[in-house]
Structure 1
Amino acid sequence: MTETPGLLGPAEIRGLAADLGVRPTKKLGQNFVHDANTVRRIVELAEVGPGDVVLEVGPGLGSLTLGLLGSGSTVVAVEIDPALAARLPGTVRAHAPASAGRLTVLEADALRLRAGDLPEPPTALVANLPYNVAVPVVLHLLAELPSLSRGLVMVQTEVADRMAASPGSRVYGVPSVKLAWYGRARKVAAVPRSVFWPVPNVDSSLVAFQRGEPPAGADRDVVFTLVDAAFSQRRKTLRAALASWAGSAERAERLLRAAGIDPRTRGEQLTVAEFAALAAKV
């Protein structure tokens, strides 16, 4: 089957890696997408196009970058690896010369990225993220870049489940609540292992995000500290789990009751709005 012009196939991916001396490692979460159909699907689900400024974290060898540029979007690619960052503009010029002017590459750590580092405010986040940094990166970027109205990230399926979980779910926890502060996350598609090189030993999924209004009347930092405390001992009731945070179990109970929350409730049962209501009573 012939690859769509402009997108990278398995041979191109391996060739680029060989030229750069890149040997993908599990430690860095390096699994490169080499399937053009998967790239097209990601771009379609991300719903980006002309007029969008897409922030891509960890572009690697450029598979997804080329797909995003093909949509007509402007792309700001943030790559921590100096060799990969240096090579990406040349890859785009070689495979999609007409799109090269819409690409900016920043050699930077996404966890340290600031709004002032970017040439213009991004409207969407689209990225293939290593599972060990996926949630911190997404939370940092949503906090730092209010212009991000939506996103689509590919992460390990376990992480995707946590990001999109609802209250009462077995996997509902800190990532679920903190993401819900910014808006709505949902798991939209599974990604086969076979589309990556090297083939990972975990499953991957795509998580879509739409920014919304945060709960009113509470400070985000207070809410997030409260969430961390509530899930640090998730098997305990909130009265017990929040004793250290509140100063005592008795004060925790008073605050919970003032917020209309049963002290016998566990953290996994509360919505972000309920955590905000509790934080507002402090």
Structure 2
Amino acid sequence: MIESYDFLKSVLDTITEHIVVIDSQGDILFVNKSWSSFGQNNACLIDERWSGVNYLSECDKAAAMGDDFGVKAASGIRSVIAADKKEFYFEYPCHSPNEERWFMMRVTPFTVEGDHCFVISHQNITERKLAEEEVLNLSRIEGLTNIPNRRYFNEFLDSEWKRCRRLGMPISLAIVDLDHFKLLNDTYGHQAGDSCLKSIGQVLKSFATRPSDLCARYGGEEFAIVYGNTSLDKAQVLLSKLLDEILSLNIPNKKAPTLPILTASIGLSTMHPNKENNENDLIKEADELLYSAKNNGRNQVSFKHIARP
């Protein structure tokens, strides 16, 4: 019984790691139950009949769409197939819309009846990575507002841009500037200004709640919000609510010509990442739209969608 195919398959199907076996050409020979279940539960284009699918081709397709992890996976697997390395492994993020996830891929060779085969396992290491992220986040948080800093904003936008490009999703960026903040500081003092920034930070947190969202202090009285996989229409709705929330704080700014309370202006840009654009284009467009909002009277959202080429 122990040497039977059914016994060994049952053992492999019980393992929580996602396991796939390929031949030296990259064709899939076997997948375990965890692998199949993950594909079915995560809207994978290939969710049932994996036998005969070329794993290397799938990695190459992802790489061609700008997925750095596809590049690393394909290169690593080929290095083991060519016997340049005895084994290969690397860690990568695989976030869903509702949760953060990380996996470690490991490739190891074996030979059966003279044929060279390769086991590729994907182990869920989310628990460890979240613990590491918690420590790392301490260096990512801006001290006054208790939200991410500019450095982490740059890292996050780069990562989210690549993810949206790979999956053909839109990404939206809002740059938020507090109107006449210098007048508030001059009128009530810097302590009142700091208290104002803290309050805005708390409000922004409630408008960036998914793994694909981020709010950050962009600099001075400017803030930024990234919305991955979010259309212009959806982002507009959220940001209109944000302006209302800022008004509802009722923070005095009696000398401001717009209103005697704190208001904000927002530039919002939405793009579909592709090989013709990059995240700097998104930032530039949002920044220009912010100035448009200010020139048109402040306390408003100026927006634009950059269509697919």
Q: Normalised by the size of structure 2, how large is the TM-score? A: 0.33
Which structure: greater strand fraction?
2
| Structure showing greater Rg | 2
Task: Using structure 1 for the length normalisation, give the TM-score.
Answer: 0.35
